[in-house]
Amino acid sequence: MSNAILRKAAAKAAVTAPSTAPVVRAIDVGFGLVKLSLSHKNGVRFMSFPSMAIPADASAVRALGPRRRDTFDVPVNGANYEVGRDVALAQAGGNFGRDVTDEFYRGTIYEALTKGALRYMAEAGDTVIDALVLGLPVNQYNDAKRRDYLRSHYEGEIEIGDGKKIKVGKVIVQAQPMGGYAALDDHLDELNAVIAQTPGALLPLPDGEALDDLAVLMIDPGEHTLDWLLIQQGSINPRASGAASDAGRHRVVRAVTESLCAAIGRPLGPSTMPRINDALRSGKPVKLAGAAHDLKQFDPVITSVIEDATNRMIDGLRDAHEIIDLMVLVGGHPERYRDALVKRFPAIPVFVMPNSLDANVRGFQMIGEAVMEASFSYR
């Protein structure tokens, strides 16, 4: 099935499928957050939790407190790892609980996070999943061995902790920004408003199918990588698509942390980085050792990092930026990248997807439903 046909089918796929339809679920494991779909009444809902997996603490002290923290212990290679929405409560010292390498997809942390997402699905009532859509950064998606690894590793019966198992019938692997492209039809009014405000040649689109006549650059500034897909006539242009490692949020947070260390005159451990990250997202000062530090002073540092990342993307496009009609940003922190791109390309509309954090996983869900619908219709 071509990407053009797939996008059209995904646009028609409802996320409130009847109970008789195949069970389709999606997981987008990012370096910062895990996004997933799970059962909700007669349809699906979306949630996220931090991409942190901490070796499980089996002591009785963990159970103390007024409420149970929202985490699960999942098995990986004979050991248990704690994952879930409250996993930061398990973090201490230098144990950052993350993996931000290019081999992330086949590592212990990725497996623990994926099993954690599956555990949330099981707790919501799914014991069998007919189709599971997983995402990979663009540079990893281009490697067939990596796609095959995910399919072979997550199809079948999977142990998800506490003696529970979940069965996955089929794994569909997608490049992460493709999810956002599939979901574009849902936001045509917002997209047209941005197009109308941009002093370029592109006119507001009459319908979602008009996207298939455009060269659309999907951009996903993630935690570790900056991914981009150039989609022309609904199909990916692989020569002008790619990813830049160490060009995402982690590099921004690391640069701010290093600058903060220099300003306060002492080193900061890796466990402080999530707190700095949260402060950057909220725009509030970060509190460390009882003192508040305003991070706005480091805006020039952040701008420098993001401009370098976007320059690497433009270089990777191999002059294809000349034919781009529309840029679309997804991910958890796209605003500063949008500002840099608008400054660089004032005549090209730069659209930030609403609810950009879960745009990819929403699109994955639609793609999975479309694939399963097509497979049944061809029988």
Residue 143 is predicted with a pLDDT of 85
Helix, strand or coil for residue 195? helix
The terminus-to-terminus CA distance of the chain in angstroms comes to 15
Residue 33 is predicted with a pLDDT of 87
Which of residues 192 and 98 earns the better pLDDT score? 192
How many other C-beta atoms can be found within 10 angstroms of the C-beta atom of residue 57?
A: 14
Residue 95 is predicted with a pLDDT of 45
pLDDT in tens, 16-39: 444 578 999 999 998 778 999 999
Residue 101 has pLDDT above 80, yes or no: no
Query: Are the beta carbons of 335 and 299 closer than 8 angstroms?
Result: no
Strand partners, 92: none
Indicate the burial class of 243 (C-beta count within 10 angstroms; 0-12, 13-18, 19 or more): buried
Give the separation between CA 64 and CA 56, rounded to whole angstroms.
15
pLDDT in tens, 200-216: 999 999 999 999 999 99
Residue 102 is predicted with a pLDDT of 57
Give the separation between CA 266 and CA 258, rounded to whole angstroms.
10
Query: Are the beta carbons of 5 and 18 closer than 8 angstroms?
Result: no
Residue 67 is predicted with a pLDDT of 63
Indicate the burial class of 280 (C-beta count within 10 angstroms; 0-12, 13-18, 19 or more): buried
Give the separation between CA 21 and CA 357, rounded to whole angstroms.
27
Tokens representing residue 334 in the block = 């796209």
pLDDT in tens, 235-247: 889 889 988 888 8
Strand partners, 81: 55, 74
Q: What is the mean pLDDT of the chain?
A: 87
Residue 357 has pLDDT above 90, yes or no: no
Its CATH class, for the domain covering 3-176+359-377, is alpha beta
Residue 331 is predicted with a pLDDT of 83
Indicate the burial class of 344 (C-beta count within 10 angstroms; 0-12, 13-18, 19 or more): middle
To which residue do tokens 């500063």 refer?
336
Residue 339 has pLDDT above 70, yes or no: yes
Q: Which of 194, 190, 176, 138 is nearest to 342 (CA)?
A: 194
Cα torsion through 87, 89, 93, 95, rounded to 10: -10
Task: Tell me which of 2-6, 266-270, 271-275, 346-350 is least confident.
Answer: 2-6
Q: What is the DSSP string of 157-189?
A: EEEEETTEEEEEEEEEEEEHHHHHHHTGGGGHH
Q: Kindly state the percentage of the chain with pLDDT values over 90.
A: 62
